[in-house]
A and B are shown apart, each in its own frame.
Chain A
Amino acid sequence: MGGWALRIGGRGARRIPGLCMMLALCASSSAAPIEDSAWAYDTWRVFTTADGLPGNYIRAVHLSGERVWVGTDGGLAMLEDGRWRSWTVASGLPWAAVSAIETERQTGDLWLGTWGGGLVRFSGGRFDRFDQFNSALAGNMVFDITISGGRIWVATNGGISAFDVADGSWSLYAERRADRPETAVANFCVFGDSLYAAVWTGEIQRYDSGRDRWMNHTPTAAAGRSSRPRGVLAMAAVGTGLRSVSLNGYWRWDGRGSWTHHPSHGLWGVGNMVQCFTAAEDGRVLVGTDRGLHILTDSVSETWLTYRHGEDATITPRGGQTIPTRGLPSTIPDDRIRCLAADKNGVWVGTANGLAHATNRVPINKIKPNKSDRRESTTPAKLPPPPAIEIAFLGPATRTVALPAAEAHDISRSTRPDLLAIQLAVERANSRGGYRDTIPFSMASAPEGYVFANYGWSTFEDEYLALGTRRSLCGLVGHLRAGSCASTLTALRTEAPLVNVSLTPPTADESISPWVFRAPIDGTASHQRIIDFIIDTLGVTRFAVLRTAGEPSRRHVDDWIARVTSRGHRVVAEIAVPTGAEYPNENWSPLRNEAAEVVLTWSDARTSASLIRSLRDAKMNQLVVVSNEALRGDFRDLVGRTPGEVIAAAPCWGHAGDATMEWFVERYAARNYISRTKNTPPRPDAVASFHGTNLLIESVRISSLDRQELQRTIRDLAGADFARFVQGEWMLQSVRP
C-alpha cells in the first residue's frame, strides 16, 4: 500500500488497511476489502445565482437527456450546452418555488411541482397551472411528481392526485374523513410494475391499479403495528428492493416479503432529517440530510461517505465510528441537502445554498490529498445579514373550500388576540435589546401582506410557504389543528421550530415531528398540576364538582376528575348547576354531607362568582378552583364579598408580582382600547400565544440561530423549566388570595 493513504483524525495517523482489517473482522466473511470498492467523487463544481440560477435554494434537480432542469426558490432553470436559461415569475412562471420536476417523454412537456402553487405544465413555452382551487389537485405543496400508466402522479401535502393526460380526468386519493389528518406524501418510487408512495404522515403505500386504491405496503401484521415504517421521509428502489427512511428508523424491503429494520442508523435521525434519498441504476445510494450528503460507498460493508460543507469528508462503516479523513475536503455549498439526481458521471446535489455537481468517481485510495486544482468551485454568494430575526404567525388551519375573507388580508387591521399577543411579545423582546442586544425581532408577514392560515383545505399554503422560505425566519408560532399537517410540514422543511399554541390535544403529525413544540399552555397538564398541587402541597383529597353546561366545562372538569382518580382519590360529590344563574337557595348539602374539601367548577366569571357567593353565604368555605376566565380583576366585585380561598386553573392575566404578564396585560388592553378599569382579561389563546412567542424568543437568546441548537434548547425549555416558570407552582401560589 504505497503512495497516498487517508489520514484518520484523532489519536494520530492511521492507514486505511488497518481500518479495513478491522472492518473485515466485524463484517461478514464475504465483505470486500474497503480499499478495493470504496470510492468518492473527486471533482466538484458549484453553481449559484452568480452562474445564472434564479435562486440559491435548490428544491429539485431533474435530468432529461442532455438537459439539467433545476427548481429553485426563485424559479426554474435549465442547463444545456454549458449555458443556463431561467424562468421566473416575471417571465410567466406561475409560482417561484419549484419543488419537483418531471418530463413527459411522449409529449416533451415538463411537469413542475411548486412549493405552494400547485402543479404546472410547461409546454411549448406556456405555463398551465393546476392547483387545489381550480382542479382536483390534493394540495398546493408538491413534493414529487412521477409519470406512470399514462398519468401524472402528484404527491402533495394533502394526498395524491393523478392527472390523465389522454382524457384530462383527475383522480384524487386523499383522506376521506374530515376529522383525520390529511395525507402528506413525501415521494414516489416506481419499483417493478408497481408504484409506491412514501407517506410522510403514515406508512409506505402501493397503488393497486385493479382496485384503483392505495394500499398499505408494510411488514406483515404479525410484526405488529409498532414495527412498521411510520412517518416515511423518503424512499428509493435499490437493486431488487426498496429502502426507506422513516421517523422510526431505516427500513429495507427485499422485494419479496422480507423486511429489515434498523431503528437508528446513526447518520440521521431527529435533528438531522433526511430530505431526499435516491439510488442510481449502478447501485449508488445517496441520502441528503440536513447535515450533509451521505453516499453508500461500499454496499457490502454498508460503509458511508459523508460530505459536509467546509469539512473533510468522513467515513462511517456499519456499526463503526465515524472516521474523519484528511484529503477529501467537501465543496458542497451547504449542509442542508434538498434534492439529488444521479447521472452516469456523477451526482447533482441541490442544497439550501447552491447547486453542486460531483463527478469523476474514483476509488478512495486513488485520490491524492489536496487536489484542489481539480475542484472547480464557485463560492456561493454571501447573503447580507438579515435586518431582523423574524417570527411568523401561522393561524388556525381548518378545512374549508373558500379562500380568505377580505378582512383577513391585512395584518395591521387584524383584531385577532393571538396575533396581537405575538406582536406584544416581540415588542417586549426588542425593548430588552432584541437578539444579542443588537438585532431586533420582528413579525414576519408574507409578501402579499397577510399571514393568516384560516382558510383553504389543510392550510393556506401560499402564505405558509412564503414565510417558510424567508431566510431571516427563526421560528413559527401558530395553531395546529387535527386534519391539517401543512403547518408541521412547513416547519419540517424549513427547519424552523414551530411552537404550537393551540389548546387542543396533540395532532397526529405533531406527535411525530421533531420541529413542533407545544407552548407550555397545555390545558391538560395545567389541570394535572393543579390537582397535584392540591393533593401534594395542600394535602387535600376530598374533591367535589359543580358541573355547568357546555363543552368547555365538560372537558376541563373531566380532566380534573381523571387526575383525581389517577392519584387514587375520588370525587365525593357532583352537582349539576345551570349557567348564568343566581344560586340563593341552592342545596349544597351533598358537599356538606360528603365533607368536600375542594370544589371544582369551570364557567365564566359571572357564574363562578355567583356560585362562590352562594357557597360562602351557605357557610361553605372550601377551596374553589375556577377557570382562568373567571378570575378577572373585578372578580371580587362580582362575588360581592370576600371570595375566600380561590385559585385559577390556567394562566390568567395580571398576577401580582408577575411583571411579564402585567406588561402584557397593560399593553394588550391599551391596544384593544380596553379600559383598564374594566379589566377585561386577554383571551386564553392570546395568553398562550404570548407565552409561546416568549418561549421561542428565550430559546433564541439562550442558544443561537443554529437550528439544531435551537431545537435542543426549545425542547428543554418547553419540557421543563419554562413550563414551570409560566404556569407551575409559581402560578398557583401567587393566585391564592
Chain B
Amino acid sequence: MKRAWFLVSLQAALIPPADRSLAQERRIPLFVGRNVCLECHDASEHSAGVCTLEEIPEHHRSYRSLARTEASHIAALCGVAKSPQESRVCLGCHATAGEVGPRWTAPTFDIAHGVQCEACHDAGGMHAEASCAWPAVPREEILGGIVPGDRATCKECHGEKPSHTAVLKELYRMPLTEALYKTPVNLACSPDGTRVYVVCQHSNSLVVVDPAKGRVLHEIGVGRQPQDVAVSPDGKTLYVTNRLSDTLSVIDTASGAVTDSVGVGNEPHGVLTDATGEHVFVLNTERNDVSVIETERFSELKRLAAGRGPWSLALSEDGASLYLSSVRPNSIAFLRPSVSEVSVIDTRSRTVRNRILLRDANMLQGIASVPGSGVVLVTLMRTKHLVPISRLAQGWTITNGLGVILPDGRADQVLLDEPNNAFPDPDDIAVSPNGRVALVTSGGANQVAVVDIEALLDTLHEATAAERQEVLPNHLGMSARFVVKRIDVGTNPRGVVFSPQGRFAYVANALDDSISVIDTEGYSEVRRISLGGPDRVTAIREGERVFHSADITFGRQFSCRSCHPDGHINGLTFDIEADGIGMHPVDNRTLRGIYDTAPFKWEGTNPSLSHQCGPRLAVFFTRLAPYTPRQLNALVQYLSVIPRPPNRHRQERGLTIAQRRGKLIFERRATSNGKPILRARRCTTCHSRGYKTARTSASVGTTMWLDAPVDIDVGDLHEVGEFGYFGMVYYHDTGGANKAFDAPHLVSIYGSPPYLHNGSAPTLEEIWTRCNLYDEHGVTSDLTRRQFNDLIEYLKAL
C-alpha cells in the first residue's frame, strides 16, 4: 500500500516541474529526504535494507540542536556570523543538503530531520525515480547518484572540534557583548569644521562628534563593518562604506538619517567624491576595482580596474585626479619581490589614467595629496619576505615608511622608522591645508608622526638618483631629517584628518574607542574624546589589542596585523625559517574563521592556536619574550572570533547549476571514463564537511626542492631536465621526498590567493593547471575545460 502511494505520488510531487526538468536535463539528482528513503528502506520483510544511520536517534536531533544556546556560543567562537541553523559550516555536519541549498531539495525533503540517509549516500532523487520503474530498469540506473557510505564518511564529522569541547564542557563561553565596542577606524570633517564624523567598525555606526565641545552628538546606524566616510563638497551628504554588507550608506547630514543604501562591489573600503560632488568613487577591496556612482540617482555607472586591495583615495589639489592606494602587491608571481600600485583616475573621463608602481613595497594604506606641490604621499611597508625572517635582529624584516609620488609620476620611498624604534603599521596620513605638515598614524606603536614635508622633499632632491633608488628606501636614520616629532595617542590609532582650517587634527583610536585631538601649534594631544564604548576590557578586546600591538616584536617593527590586516592576508609568501635564502617559503593564510580548523602551520604541526601563537612565535617571528599566558589566552580568544565575510559567489537559494555540477566532480570517486580514483586522491578525502578540511596532512605532489628535507647538490639544479614549470623540482616520483602539508579549510577560499603551501599558485585554477602535473592533488587531468570550470565555481561557493 505504501509503495503504491509512493509510485503515484513520486512522479507528481517529488520534484517540482522546473527542477525536475533541470534535474533530468543535467542529470543532477535532488535531495528527497528520509521519508522517501524509508518507503523502501524500512523494517519490513521486503525492505531493500535500512540505513544504519537511521538507527541512531541523535542524527535526527542534530539540526534542532543548533537552536540551543550552546550552539550560538560555538558559532560565535568560530566566527560564524549567521544563526547556526543557517550557517553552512554548521549545517555541513548537523544536517543533510545544508551545503547545497534549498534549490536542490525536493518538496519531500525536510532539513529538520537532521542527518539523514542522503548525508552519506548523496542525493537520492534519481535513485528514487528510477526505483519506481524497477525491475524494468537496469541496476546501474537505479543506483544512479547513490554512493556507498563507510566509516570514513562518519569520520568526516565525528572528529575533535575544540570549539564544541570548549563550550559543551563549559570551559569557555563567548561573551556576546563584544559588539558594544565602537572601534573607530576612520573619520572626516565637515567643511565648516564643526563636526567630525567617525566610522565605528564594531558598532556598525557613524558617530557624529562636536570637536569644540568634545562630545558625541549622536550615532547613526549603518551597514555591517563600516570602513570609511566621505563628506560631499557641500557638506550636506555623508557616504559610508560597509565592508561586510557590500553597500554604500548615504546619510543626510541635516537629518542624520540614512537616505539610501547603494549596492557596490565586494568589501568596499575607501570612499571619496570628486570635486563637484557629482560622482562618488568606492574602492571594492576584495574585487580589486572601483565603483563609480553618480550622485543624482545613486546608480553605479561602471567599475574601473584598480590595484590589488584598493584601500584609500586622495583627490589632487586641482580636482583632476584621484589617487588610490592598494594594500596588496600587484605581483603575486612565485617568489618575486612585491610591486604595489597607486592608481590614478582621471575625474573628468572617470577612467584610469596611470598606474604608478612602488617596488618592494606593500600595504599601501593612507594616501594624501600635498597642496601647492602636486606631490602625493602614501604610507607603505617594505616587507622583506624573501629573506629569512631571522634578519629581524638586523632590522630587516619589515620597515615602514612613505611613498612620495612626484608630479612627473616618479615614485620615491623613505622610511619613518628610526634605528631600534620602528614606526609599525603606518595606517593613515593627512596633510595640513597649507601643505607643510603630514601626520601619519602608527597603529602598532600608538603614535602619530609629524612629517615636515619641505624637509622630506629637500632630502629627496639632495640625493642622487642611485641614492633615491637604493639608499633612501632602506635608510633607518634618514627619518630624523623630516620626522619632527612623534605624538603618543590612544590605542591603535588608524584614521587621521585635519580640520578644514588646519588648526586641529583628529585621530581615531580604534581600540580604546576615542578620538585624539591634536593641536597643530605645538603638535601635541590636547584632548581625548570618548565615543562611549564600554570601560570594561574583555579578554577578546585585550586580545585584539595584543594582535595590533608591535610591542611584542624586536625593535617594535611589526604587529600581527602587519601581515594579517583585518585578520586576513597581505598576499605574500614568507621565508620563516633561518635556514638559508629562500628555503621553505610558506604562504600567508587568512585568520578569518579558523578556530576549528586545527592543526595549524602549513606542516600541520601545531595542534592549537595556543601552540601556534605561543613560544614558537617568539622564536620565529617576534624575537622577544613570548606572550604572557594572559596575553596568549586573550590573543587566542580574539583570533577565534575574527569574522568571515559572506561568500559573494553563493546565492541565497543555494548552489548554481554549474556549482552543483562542480560539487559532483568534487565528490566523485571515479574518473570520466569510470576508472576508480584512489581514496587518497579524492577531493573529499582531505577536504570534507563544513570547513572542507579533514584536519589532516597529505602529500599532494607540491613538494619543491625548496621544501626538500634531503640534501641537494645545488649544481644539479641546473640540469634542464630537472626543472619543473617554475624552475623547481617536483618530487613527484620519489615518494620518500614528498612532504605532507596541512589540508587547509576551503571556506571562502576564493578570497585568499595565492594558494598552496608556498603560494606557488596565483589563482585557484593554477593549483591544477600548473601545479598538479601528475594528478597527485586530486585527479583532474581527465576533466574537460567546462568540467574544470564547474569545479572552480563550486570551490568559490564554499
Contact = CB atoms under 8 A, between A and B. Distances in A.
Contacts of B301: 106
Contacts of B762: 134
A583 B597 CA distance: 64
B351 to A, nearest CB: 4
Contacts of A168: 287, 289
Contacts of A170: 789
A159 B265 CA distance: 29
A107 B306 CA distance: 11
A460 to B, nearest CB: 12
Contacts of B775: 402
Contacts of A565: none
A405 interface: yes
Contact of B785 (A109, A174, A407): A174
Contacts of B355: 123-126
B419 interface: no
B770 A133 contact: yes
Contact of B786 (A108, A172, A406, A407): A172
Interface string A88-109: 0000000000000000001111
A420 B66 CA distance: 67
Interface in A616-631: none
Contacts of B722: 406
A252 interface: no
A175 B773 contact: no
Contacts of A413: 720-721
Nearest to A138: B785
B765 interface: yes
Nearest to B349: A108
B768 interface: yes
Interface string A114-158: 000000010111101000111110100000000000000000001
Contact of B352 (A123, A133, A175): A123
B705 to A, nearest CB: 12
B768 A121 contact: no
Nearest to A177: B784
A401 B349 CA distance: 42
B349 A133 contact: no
Contacts of B289: 168
Contact of A176 (B723, B770, B786): B786
B772 interface: yes
A135 B766 CA distance: 9
A128 B781 contact: no
A134 B766 contact: yes
Contacts of B330: 126
Contacts of B784: 174-178, 399, 457
Interface range, B side: 35 or more
A446 to B, nearest CB: 15
A410 B720 contact: yes
B765 A403 contact: no
Interface string A394-405: 000001111111
Contacts of A549: none
A407 B721 contact: yes
A404 B762 CA distance: 18
B725 interface: yes
Given A128-B305, A402-B768, A402-B773, A409 B785 contact: no
Interface string B345-385: 00001011111000000000000000000000000000000
B783 interface: yes
A172 B793 CA distance: 11
- With most chain B CB atoms within 10 A of its CB, the pick from A128, A400, A409, A457 is A400
Nearest to B725: A403
A165 B304 CA distance: 9
B782 A400 contact: yes
Interface in A245-284: none
Nearest to B727: A406
Interface string A576-594: 0000000000000000000
Given A170-B789, A176-B784, A457-B785, A121 B352 contact: no
Given A170-B789, A174-B784, A174-B785, A402 B352 contact: no
Contacts of A403: 725, 769-770, 773
A355 to B, nearest CB: 27
A166 interface: yes
Interface in B450-480: none
A457 B769 CA distance: 10
Contacts of A138: 785
Contact of B766 (A133, A158, A406): A133
- With most chain A CB atoms within 10 A of its CB, the pick from B300, B341, B762, B769 is B769
B19 to A, nearest CB: 16
Nearest to A399: B784
A407 B770 CA distance: 15
Nearest to A165: B303
B721 A406 contact: yes
Interface in A161-213: 165-168, 170, 172, 174-178, 182
A165 B287 CA distance: 11
B320 interface: no
Contacts of A125: 354-355
Contacts of B772: 401-402
Nearest to B341: A126
B789 A406 contact: no
A458 B287 CA distance: 31
Contacts of B287: 167-168
Interface string B693-737: 000000000000000000000000000111111000010000000
B23 interface: no
B353 A124 contact: yes
Interface in B777-794: 780-786, 788-789, 792
Contact of B781 (A134, A182, A402): A402
A107 B351 contact: yes
Contact of A401 (B352, B724, B725, B780): B780
A94 B784 CA distance: 26
A172 B343 CA distance: 30
Contacts of B354: 124-125
7 closest residue pairs by CB, A with B: A124-B352, A108-B351, A133-B769, A400-B781, A106-B302, A134-B763, A401-B780
Given A108-B351, A123-B352, A124-B354, 8 more contacts: A109-B351, A126-B330, A126-B341, A128-B305, A133-B769, A134-B769, A175-B786, A457-B785
Interface of B: 265, 287, 289, 300-305, 330, 341, 343-344, 349, 351-355, 672, 720-725, 730, 762-763, 765-766, 768-770, 772-775, 780-786, 788-789, 792
23 contacts: A106-B302, A107-B303, A107-B352, A121-B305, A124-B353, A126-B330, A132-B769, A134-B766, A135-B765, A165-B303, A166-B300, A168-B287, A175-B784, A178-B782, A400-B782, A401-B768, A401-B772, A401-B783, A402-B780, A403-B769, A404-B725, A406-B730, A410-B721
